[in-house]
Structure 1
Amino acid sequence: MKSIEVVAAAIYKDGKVLAAQRGYGEFKGGWEFPGGKVEPGESLEEAIVREIQEEMETMIEVGEKIGIVEYDYPNFHLKMHCFWAKVKEGEFKLLEHDEVMWLDKKSIQTLQWLPADVELVEKVAKRLDYHS
């Protein structure tokens, strides 16, 4: 089975975290923490900064690692590294997503998250109070 390594950012402010709705592909319409693939020779932190810049034209500051999720989709194995992050500069432009939402501890559970992100949602919700 093909294996893909990606990074994701739990971008936070004022006790809320950013969720993004995919605008393309097999998982269009599902909600995720934004991010993408790690390029050869790139650190995980460099990858997440680049991905958010490319997808949303926003510069972020990467914080501590939340964790790693490994998930088997039907056609590939996903290894996702998730980090806390905050906006350094820019407004979110939706270049690859249909919508973004700022979610608090209660509303984070109300979205239809992509399967690999579900495990992260719980971890993020528990820590939101510390990252406001």
Structure 2
Amino acid sequence: MKTIHVVAAIIEKDGRVLATQRGYGDFKGGWEFPGGKVEPGETEEQALVREIHEELDARIVVDRHLCTVDYDYETFHLHMSCYLCSLAEEHIDLIEHTQARWLDAATIDSVDWLPADISVVEALKDQVL
């Protein structure tokens, strides 16, 4: 089974985290933490900064590693490194997503998370929210 190495940004602001709804692909409509594939020669942090700029036209500061999730989807294995981040500026533009929501401890379960992201939500409940 093919392994895909991705990074995800858990962008924090005022006790809330940013969730985005996919606007494309097999998982269109599902909610996730934004991010994407790590390209050859990139560090995870570099990939995260690049992906968030491409997906949200936003600049972030990568603060610290939160967790790593390994999840088997039907056609591939996902290896996802998740980092707590903050916005370097307030600007966000949804380029590849249809919606975004800021969620706190009371609302974190209000969206339909993609399967791999459910583990990240649990880590957030234990460590952050």
- TM-score, normalisation: structure 2: 0.97
SS of residue paired to 1:108 = coil
Given that residues 105 and 126 in structure 1 are in contact (C-alpha distance below 8 angstroms), is that contact kept between their aligned partners in structure 2? no
Aligned to 2:64: 64
Aligned AA (2:121):
V
Letter in 2 for 1:45: E
In the alignment of these two chains, the number of paired residues is: 129
> How many Å separate the matches in 2 of 1:25 and 1:123?
26
- Structure with higher helix content: 1
Query: Structure 2 counterpart of 1:110, which letter?
Result: S
Partner SS, residue 82 of structure 1: strand
Contact 1:10/1:124, CA 8 A, preserved across alignment: no
Paired residue secondary structure (2:125): helix
Q: How does 1:94-109 map to 2 (within 5 A)?
A: 94-109=94-109
Secondary structure in 2 matching 1:41: coil
* Cα separation, 1, equivalents of 2:96 and 2:107: 23
Which segments of 5 or more consecutive residues in structure 2 lack a partner in the other structure? none
Amino acid at match of 1:102: W
Shift of 1:91: 1.2
Superposed CA offset, 1:74-108 (max 9, x none): 00000000000000025111110000000000100
SS in structure 1 at match of 2:12: strand
> Percent of counterpart pairs with the same letter?
53
Question: Could you tell me how far apart the structure 1 residues matched to 2:4 and 2:64 are?
Answer: 22
SS at match of 1:107: coil
Letter in 1 for 2:48: I
**Counterpart residue identity of residue 109, structure 2:** Q
Residue 16 in structure 1 maps to residue 19 in structure 2? no
Question: What RMSD in Å do the two structures reach over aligned CA positions?
Answer: 0.9
Gaps of 5+ in 1: none
